[in-house]
Structure 1
Amino acid sequence: MTNKEDKTLRLLMPQWQGGNNPPYVLGAHLLNWLAPKTNGPFEEVPVDLDVCLEKEQGIVGRSVLLKQARSAKSLIQKHRPDRVIVLGGDCGVELAPFAYLNEKYDGDTALLWVDLHPDVSIPEDWPNHHAHVLANLLGIGDKEFVAEVPRPFKPEQVLFVGLNDMMEALHSKPLQNMKFDIATPDDIEEDSSKVLQWLDSRKPSKVIVHFDLDVLDLREFRSLLIANPDTYDEMVGKAPKASSIETIIRVLQDVAKAHDVAGLGITEHFPWDAYNLQNMLQRLPLLGDINKKDKAPFNWIF
């Protein structure tokens, strides 16, 4: 369903501050390395590696996140692509590319938010921006982030796919008059009909896909924040139902066969084994520092 002559920009954005999880830097680079090679344009968004973050106006790392979003916007404008692939990083990496695509196609888009969580929180309720990004794309939240979205999405443009956690955020005061459609893990387990019927009823010219890897079942895919080896057995019992890898592949393939996909973002790759291996290598003879005893923390709590 795509025009081979269209320009597709691959954007690597190893942003970690939105969830305050530095291993997303490694996760994003591994995603880029693992992904099929591209002959199209490629850009990497510069990301600040200073781990000393402060809460500013209710948002952890607000100023650096705004700076990185604007850097991403500048790189996208440099190429003015027809399609964008984003490899992150936390979910906030989608702000600039998805805002660009919705403006480019005059709002004639559908946004599939393939995620266990809705990401529509506001600073008053949650300090980490990775949980705000869809609210910003809808024109809600911190004014400076919202200003980065020249043409906000409308609620009827959004379908949540695989949503099954933190759903109370959909009922916060700024969203209380908005109606959203949801395809739960149960809805997509057997076939993709609910997603395809929703798209067919709207007939968008372009489809944009946000794919947060946490929509996958941690029993099958463990490169997720929630799959911390130290608490894994406990979380297996607590985690809400999620989707299998093959289910998500099938849904996205079915969508792409029937509709024109102009954007794909993949986020929140937390590679626990690679991260722990990286820490180990830093402490071995000849490779690293044999006097190093501490293991780098994977996040900070504010």
Structure 2
Amino acid sequence: MNEMDTSRTLRLLFPQWQGGNNPPYVLGAHLLNWLAPKSNGPFEEVPVDLNPNVEKEQGIIAKSTVLQQARSAKSLIHKHNPERIVVLGGDCSVELAPFSYLNEKYDGDVALLWVDAHPDVSIPEDFENHHAHVLANLLGVGDQEFVAEVPHLFKPEQILYVGLNDMIDALHSEPMKNMKLDIVGPDEIKQDSSKVLQWLAEKKPSKIIIHFDLDVLDMKEFRSLLVAYPGTYEEYTKSFPQGSSMETIIRVLQDVAKSYDVVGLGITEHFPWDSYFLANMLSRLPLLGDIDNKERPVFNTL
């Protein structure tokens, strides 16, 4: 359903990077905010610690920082009590507070479309970066301090994966294997959106939340992705599963929005390699930056 009035839509810029342990997500989030159409609703930026020194805590990289930033996001959301939220991240863990809020606000009468190459249901024992835990936390699984931040847990029947094509084994590990999460794969949305719309018609939710991780896109078409690191790009285009085209994802999300009330949209994991390298170069040039600066860009690859 087309939304005419955005005055009750909170736009949340959340440039968190610690959940994926990759500083370029800060620039990625700010570029998303700059590129996205302007809105007339409220705007907040979640404060994010920029200190690059992070440690593993109870199996999670920068756990206390990510947890505190989630609580800051929660506070900013409750300040406005919005009807809808747009989140511009940052890594996938930025979705914890806004999606928790929306599920509670609408008393669980929502469907969550997880448009992502990855399931994001890992636990600390298997994976140390929180961006891969966030959906598990929303379902009540994983680190209990993060789970405690979700007042109204999602149920497995509320979740539909769209475009999932990597790390699927996480769905079959403890304790996720007893939860049945439905999947519409990349091949099933190439021609039309019928599989997604059929699932929604069966579930009959009053509201829709959309998580859109840009890594669901085909890296040959869209290269601002972690997996598209220039040093291994050619190798990875051959070895990684092919993602969906931009036009395919646009069509699916437009088709959903024409028939259902979308109350949440999170866009995450924008990894702008060229812009990140360019920003570092500009900071080291004469008349612009520090010509004695030898510091190269900091990032982690796969």
Same fold (TM over 0.5): yes
- After superposition, give the CA deviation of every residue in 1:150-198 in whole Å (9 maximum; x if it has no partner): 0110000000000000000001111111111100000001100000000
Where does residue 95 of structure 2 map in the other structure?
A: 94
Residue 55 of structure 1: aligned partner? 56
The answer to whether the 8 Å contact 2:227/2:301 transfers is no
Q: Which region of structure 1 is more displaced relative to structure 2, 292-301 or 76-85?
A: 292-301
Q: Which residue of 1 aligns with 2:45?
A: 44
**Number of residue pairs aligned between Structure 1 and Structure 2:** 301
Residue 15 of structure 1 corresponds to 16
Q: What does residue range 113-128 of structure 1 map to in structure 2 within 5 Å?
A: 113-128=114-129
Is the deviation greater in 71-80 or in 174-183?
A: 174-183
2:265 aligned partner: 264
Cα distance in 2 for partners of 1:59, 1:81 equals 31
Counterparts of 2:251 and 2:38, CA distance in 1: 22
Question: 1:40-189 maps to which residues of 2 (within 5 A)?
Answer: 40-189=41-190
Q: Distance in 1 between matches of 2:247 and 2:4?
A: 26
CA contact (8 A) 1:216 1:244 kept: yes
Distance change (3 Å), C-alpha of 1:244 and 1:228: same
Tell me the distance in 2 between the aligned counterparts of 1:38 and 1:144.
Answer: 34
Q: Which letter does structure 2 place at the counterpart of 1:162?
A: G
CA distance in 1, matches of 2:123, 2:237: 28
For the residue of structure 1 that corresponds to 2:166, the secondary structure is coil
Q: Is the 8 A contact 1:20 1:300 kept in 2?
A: no
2:276 corresponds to: 275
User: Cα RMSD (Å) of the superposition?
Assistant: 1.1
1:56-99 Cα deviation digits (max 9, x unpaired)? 00000000000000000000000000000000000000000000
Structure 2 gap ranges (5+): none
Matched-pair contact (CA < 8 Å) for 1:45–1:68: yes
Distance 2:300 2:287 in 1: 28
Partner of 2:209: 208
How far apart are the structure 2 equivalents of 1:62 and 1:149? 16
Q: Is the 8 A contact 2:226 2:301 kept in 1?
A: no
Runs of 4+ aligned residues of structure 1 deviating over 3 Å after TM superposition are 2-6
Alignment of 1:295 onto 2:285? no
Q: Given the alignment of the two structures, is residue 25 of structure 1 paired with residue 26 of structure 2, yes or no?
A: yes
| Percent of paired sites with the same residue | 73
The residue matched to 1:12 in structure 2 has which SS?
strand
- 1:176 aligned counterpart, secondary structure: helix
For 2:290, the aligned partner's letter is: D
* Alpha-carbon separation, structure 2, partners of 1:279 and 1:4: 40
Shift, 1:3, TM fit: 5.4
Structure 1 residue 194 corresponds to structure 2 residue 195 = yes
Residue 299 of structure 1, CA deviation? 2.7
Alignment-mate amino acid for residue 250 of structure 2: I
In the alignment, structure 1 segments of 5+ residues that lack a partner are none
3-state DSSP of counterpart to 1:197 = helix
